[in-house]
Structure 1
Amino acid sequence: MRRSLPVVGDLPAFQSDRLRFITSTHRDQGDVARFRLGPFPVWQLAHPDLVRSVLVTDAAGFRKGMVLQRARVVLGDGLLTAEGDVHRHHRDLVQPAFHSRRITGYASVMIERAADTAGAWVPREPLDVHASTVRMTVETAASTLLGTSVDVSTVEEALADFLSAYKLAFLPFSEKLQALPVGPLRRLQRGRQRLHGLVDSVVAERAASGHDGGDLLSALVLGSDGDGAALSSQELRDEATTLLLAGHETTANTLAYALHLLAAHPSVQGSVQDEVDAVVTGDRPVAADADRLPLCRAVVSEALRMYPPSWMMGRQALVEYSVGSQVIQPGDLVLLPQWIVHHDPRWWPQPYSFDPSRWLSDGAGSADRPRWAFFPFGAGLRRCIGEGFAWTEAVLGLATIARRWRLRPVPGRPLRLEPLITLRPRGGLWLIPEPR
């Protein structure tokens, strides 16, 4: 077993290779593991029953983890980072935009953006599909949720600056260091300025025009909260920034990984194309096709299992919390690692093998699998509000691309993972598109 170091604890080993660290910790200590990240005592809970307890049954005893607490410097009190009554209030404001009927209305935009993305690819020319899916999902989120177009490069660069500061979250007094203009801290400040400048201009334009575009931002800018009072400019900025970032990042990653898996498994890719060809009558799908493509959805599910964009969820205990004979103390951090649970052979036979049949009606073992052995969107009251949006965009995006292209890997460009706030492909995800 590793020996923790004075002051920094296990932080150097964690930062060196985060996926390997949490995997070896689970191997050495089991479902309830302990270590230290800098000054913070940490508990890694890697059993579906413990996931349910922390996120659902006893969720009131926990708050958001350290990473999202630090993310408030960019996201403020948006839906992703807010706590308690503020979170409930904001969720009530945003919820109507993610009703199933509204998502069906967004589908045409999702399909159009996916078709535009696929239409820009050059036959047999290697491309970074992750960069493509990021552009696609940024444009979709901006159009459907904010009712406008945005400079995609500004969002990409700002997000890269934001993610670069991930390693600082567990440092002592990191919240007091954020104003220092050095290294990742300077990048964090630059990214925040870019995002806030972009969002402020969109919000100001909407407020000045008084135009209701039927999107979520219109409702927030022109409407009121439950007490009849207009939202403050800070609240509008926080929600719009959160929607733009959270509304695209995880879907872009999921779709890129799904395309990677199909390229690496030509027989499954052929079956997906057969399904798409049987369902889609034109050159691209329509909104109703999202529920008629079970294999496409199974591929997305398997991508979410194998490469969960949220690879580890964090919480901080507010009260004493017993786990068997051990007691988590107030202030301790709790990590719920999707990466571990989603690859646990107790719930997933051959867990590192790509097998979409797990998700079809005859999938072996699904009846015996615990409910929370799969939680890519979290659970409980803090479950991702955009889950239905993400499923629809990923399935229709996959079908749109599969209708037009056959993908194959680029020799010498293997997938490398970079677990930051989300699980991203390091250096891009490169594939070769061939016309069908």
Structure 2
Amino acid sequence: MRRPLPVVGDLLAFQSDRLRFVTSAHRDQGDVARFRLGPFPVWQLAHPDHVRSVLVTDAAAFRKGMVLQRARVVLGDGLLTAEGDVHRHHRDLVQPAFHSRRIAGYASVMIDRAVAVSSSWPAREPLDVHAATVRMTLETAGTTLLGASVDVGAVEGALADLLSAYKLAFLPFSEKLQGLPVGPLRRLQRGRKRLHGLVDSVVAERTSSGHDGGDLLSALVPGPDRGGRLSPEELRDEATTLLLAGHETTANTLAFALHLLAAHPSVQTSVQDEVDAVGVPGPSDADRLPLCRAVVSEALRLYPPSWMMGRQALSEYPVGGHVIQPGDLVVLPQWVVHHDPRWWPQPFSFDPGRWLDGGGATGRERPRWAFFPFGAGLRRCIGEGFAWTEAVLGLAAIVARWRLRPVPGWPLRLDPLITLRPRGGLWLIPEPR
């Protein structure tokens, strides 16, 4: 086992290959592993029982982890970053917009965007499908959550600027460095300014017009029959959070699902047969596409967009014969748990059958929290149903029109930042069916 370096600890090794680092920590130390990232002692807990304990049964003993604490400079007190009473209040306001009936109403927009974007693809030419799925999901999020069209290029540029500062989260005194106009810090400031400017214009227009478009933002803006729901700063925080979280992870999942189908032609054929039997996918068809959902499930397992969740201990917490101290960081790595052969035979193989008809004996014996792409407990992703519906219907809309195949010599490379993304895009060749 490597010896931590002075000051930075294991940070350099972690930053050089994050997925390999967390996998090696589990291999060398087991379900309870210890290392240090900069000044922070870190405990990696990689058993489903730990996931349940930290996120569900003992959630009050922890707060958000360091990355999301640092993200408050951009997201403020949005749902991803808020704590305690602020989080509960905001979640109560936002929850009705994600009711199953509302999601069904959003489904037509999801399908329209998937069809519109994919219909413009150049046939038989390499295409970055990740860029395409980002456009799909961002346009959907803008329409259904904010009730406005958004500048896709501006949002993606701002997001790239924000992600560039991810490596700073674990540096000593990083919260005091964020105002310095150098390197990635300059990009962080630029990304925040661009994103806030875009969101502020949408919020200002809605506040002044009082128009209720049936979207989430309309429900949060003060009105004559609603009183002051949120302050202008809180509206910005929630709108920014929903715009980013409402498209990024679903775009990644959908791109990875298309990659898996291209790499497994026989499964792609079966998916196309299922979609053809349903016909042109409609808003109510998500439940009639079990194989599409199984493919999305495998994409979420193999390439979890949230590849590692972080928390910070608020008090002493015993685990596996050890005691986590107040202030220590705790990480729950989906990447490790989702590829653990104890729960997933042949864990790196693509097998949608795991999710059909109960997944066989192994599926029935698998612990509940061996799969947690959307987190767990009271802070489980509020948009989970939205994401499932968009990913399944988007996948169906694309395979109804196209057959995808890999681009020779262009392998998939992963970029585990705040979310797990394809590095340098995800390139496939679409062929008309």
TM score, norm. by length of structure 1: 0.98
The amino acid that maps onto 1:158 is A
What corresponds to 2:388 in structure 1?
Answer: 391
CA contact 2:146–2:239 (8 Å) conserved in 1:
yes
Q: CA deviation at 1:219?
A: 1.1
Deviation at 1:28? 0.2
The residue aligned with 2:323 is: 327
Residue 134 (structure 1) aligns with: 134
Aligned-CA RMSD value: 1.0
**Structure 2 residue 422 is the aligned partner of structure 1 residue 425:** yes
Amino acid at match of 2:240: T
Q: Match for 2:85: what amino acid?
A: D
Contact persistence 1:409–1:430 (CA under 8 A): yes
Deviations 1:213-244 (Å, cap 9, x if unpaired)? 11110111134999x53421100000000000
Number of the residue aligned with 1:376: 373
**Alignment partner, residue 107 of structure 2:** 107
State the distance in 2 between where 1:81 and 1:421 align.
13
Q: How far off its partner does 1:276 sit?
A: 0.3
CA distance in 1, matches of 2:176, 2:74: 15
| Corresponding position: 1:416 with 2:413 | yes
Deviation, structure 1 residue 14: 0.2
Paired with 2:275 and 2:425, the residues of 1 have a C-alpha distance of 27
> Which of 284, 298, 301 matches 2:297?
301
Contact 1:199–1:237 at 8 Å: present in 2 too?
yes
Indicate the residue corresponding to 1:249 in structure 2.
248
Distance in 2 separating the partners of 1:85 and 1:136? 34
Instruction: Judge conservation of contact 1:311–1:419 (CA < 8 Å) in 2.
Output: yes
Structure 1 residue 317, shift from structure 2 partner: 0.2
Q: 1:350 aligns with which of 346, 351, 359?
A: 346
Question: What CA deviation, in whole Å up to 9, does each residue of 1:2-24 have, x standing for no partner?
Answer: 11111110000000000000001
Question: What SS is found at the alignment partner of 1:43?
Answer: strand
Deviation at 1:208, TM superposition (A): 1.2
CA contact (8 A) 2:404 2:428 kept: yes
* Paired amino acid for 1:361: D
Task: Write out the 4+ residue segments of structure 1 that deviate beyond 4 Å after TM superposition.
Answer: 223-226
Aligned-residue identity in percent? 85
Q: Which residue of 1 aligns with 2:79?
A: 79
Q: What secondary structure sits across from 1:287 in the alignment?
A: coil
Larger mean CA deviation between 303-312 and 318-327 belongs to: 318-327
Aligned to 2:412, the other structure's residue is in SS state coil
| Counterpart contact for 2:221–2:228, Cα < 8 Å | no
How far apart are the structure 1 equivalents of 2:240 and 2:327?
28
| Per-residue deviation, 1:362 | 4.8
Q: Deviation per CA, 1:28-50, whole angstroms, max 9, x where unpaired?
A: 00000000000000000000000
What SS class does the counterpart of residue 194 from structure 2 fall into?
helix
d(CA) in 2 for partners of 1:117, 1:216: 24
What is the letter of the counterpart of residue 151 of structure 2?
Answer: D
| Counterpart-to-counterpart distance in 2, 1:231 and 1:427 | 39
In 2, Cα distance between the equivalents of 1:82 and 1:42? 22
Residue 232 (str. 1) matches residue 228 (str. 2)? no
Q: Answer whether contact 2:124 2:429 (CA < 8 A) is retained.
A: yes
User: Which residue matches 2:287?
Assistant: 291
CA deviation profile, 1:297-319 (whole Å, cap 9, x unmatched)? 00000000000000000000001
Matches within 5 A, 1:9-408: 9-223=9-223, 228-280=227-279, 284-364=280-360, 365-408=362-405
Deviations 1:270-297 (A, max 9, x none): 00000000012xxx31011101000000
In structure 1, list runs of 5 or more residues that go unmatched: none
- For residue 295 of structure 1, what is the amino acid of its counterpart? L
Instruction: Give the whole-Å Cα distance in 1 for the aligned partners of 2:213 and 2:273.
Output: 38
Distance, in Å, in 1 between the alignment partners of 2:4 and 2:403 is 48
Q: Distance in 1 between matches of 2:321 and 2:296?
A: 39
Q: Residue 267 of structure 1 aligns to which amino acid in structure 2?
A: S
* Structure 1: distance between partners of 2:20 and 2:240: 32
Q: Name structure 2 gaps, 5 residues minimum.
A: none
Q: Between Structure 1 and Structure 2, how many residues are aligned?
A: 432
3-state secondary structure, aligned to 2:357: coil
Does the 8 Å contact 1:93/1:225 carry over to 2? no
Partners of 2:158 and 2:369 in 1: CA distance: 33
Name the CA distance, whole Å, in 1 between partners of 2:320 and 2:154.
48
CA–CA distance in structure 1, aligned partners of residues 133 and 338 of structure 2:
23
Q: Which amino acid aligns with 2:183?
A: G
* Deviation digits for residues 98-137 of structure 1 (CA, Å, limit 9, x no counterpart): 0000000000000000001110101101000000000100
